[in-house]
Structure 1
Amino acid sequence: MSINQLGEFVSLSFMAIALGMDAFSVSLGMGMQRMRLKRIALIGVIIGLFHIIMPFIGMLLGQAISERIGYLTIIFGGSLLIIIGAQMVFSAFNREAIKIVQPIGMGLFFFALSVSFDSFSVGLSLGMSGVKTVIALLLFGSASMVLTWSGLLLGKKVHGLFGVYSEILGGSILFAFGLNVLFG
């Protein structure tokens, strides 16, 4: 492995961790809902797959449309996180409320999509740089999967400590993260 290849691998590794930190932060809040370990494992795998698929699509589209679509994905992803967070806080106060977004079915799809939008934008810019696509995608997917599992498991532990208030805390984290995505 040459110095250039090693440098590219280290850079991609740091980028993968940075992209996965979104998934960790959001998963920390989502993990405060009651979930089984089987569900946590599935969520991590799905988030990892989305962190492979989204940058791959971005790489295919290339940098030509990066500036136009990149802004829209940030608005959509941030708005979705705000809605999920607000719904979690609302349902903590109203126990009869039907949970709008659960990390199952379409809810899991929207959850995975919202935390992987940034990797789509990164893929747009990487598509023109000639980076090793397979290595980048595997690093992005594995880092986000492990960080998602970590966030969900840590959130599950916190839920055990704080009970009902953990859902308010989790929703607040998602809401704040969504605001940060939009305005940060």
Structure 2
Amino acid sequence: MGITELIGEIITLSIMAIALGMDAFSLGLGMGMIRLRLKQVFYIGITIGIFHVIMPLLGIGLGRMISVHFSGIASYIGGALLLILGLQMVVSSFKSGQQTLVTPIGFGLIIFALSVSLDSFSVGLSLGIFGARTAVAIFLFGFFSMVLTWVGLLLGRKVQTWLGSYGEALGGSILLAFGLKLLLPF
């Protein structure tokens, strides 16, 4: 693999990581409105970042096992998963009345981080099918989700609700585009 291919893969994975992190960002915006202390903001971001490393890692491992058995249709499976995930994110961003029922403290923080990172499991599954670089992918997923969670929480303290659902819709749109790219080679 040449340097330009490596750079291209890193850019692609970074865009996917940002798209996944937009979900954490938009949820962080909403959660930031409950006026958390900065120490809580720090721990929430770290926890969500850790879960965005663990979940795609599990997905990548399972995706690689699937690709061994279904190599002929692996790209279609991965593309379809990204399409479904992106569509789900876009649709859920326009549903009104979504409230976080779990407080981001203790066990509630674990439940919250797990729910925010479930989509990264699916993306990890797709990446495992395509054989993406595991270390680069999980680092980028964890880093961007952590940073975007912090930004969302801190911004949520300032601006209330003017961007929340649009951030998740943008992230879903990016995943939809990647799913289409995988299904329709052009």
Same fold by TM-score, threshold 0.5 exceeded?
Answer: yes
Which amino acid in structure 1 is aligned with residue 148 of structure 2?
A: L
Partner of 1:61: 62
Q: Matched residues in 2 for 1:54 and 1:152: separation?
A: 22
Matches within 5 A, 1:26-175: 26-62=27-63, 64=66, 85-86=98-99, 100-158=101-159, 169=161
Which amino acid in structure 1 is aligned with residue 135 of structure 2?
A: V
Q: Matched residues in 2 for 1:138 and 1:103: separation?
A: 23
Q: Matched residues in 2 for 1:117 and 1:130: separation?
A: 20
Q: Matched residues in 2 for 1:120 and 1:55: separation?
A: 4
Q: Shift in Å at residue 85 of structure 1?
A: 3.4
Deviations 1:47-99 (A, max 9, x none): 101110000011111174978xx679x98xx99xx8x934x6xxxxxxxxxxx
Structure 1's consecutive aligned runs of 4 or more residues displaced over 4 angstroms after TM superposition are: none
Q: Shift in Å at residue 42 of structure 1?
A: 0.4
Q: Shift in Å at residue 19 of structure 1?
A: 0.7
Q: Matched residues in 2 for 1:156 and 1:85: separation?
A: 18
Partner of 1:95: none
Q: Shift in Å at residue 27 of structure 1?
A: 0.5
Q: Matched residues in 1 for 2:55 and 2:19: separation?
A: 15
Partner of 1:6: 7
**Which consecutive residues of structure 2, in runs of 5 or more, have no partner in the other structure?**
68-76, 177-186
**Which consecutive residues of structure 1, in runs of 5 or more, have no partner in the other structure?**
89-99, 159-165
Q: Matched residues in 2 for 1:55 and 1:146: separation?
A: 17
Q: Matched residues in 2 for 1:124 and 1:148: separation?
A: 23
Q: Shift in Å at residue 102 of structure 1?
A: 0.6
Q: Shift in Å at residue 31 of structure 1?
A: 0.6
Deviations 1:106-125 (A, max 9, x none): 22112111211111100001
Question: What is the TM-score with the length of structure 1 in the denominator?
Answer: 0.69
Q: Matched residues in 1 for 2:61 and 2:8: separation?
A: 24
Which amino acid in structure 2 is aligned with residue 24 of structure 1?
A: F
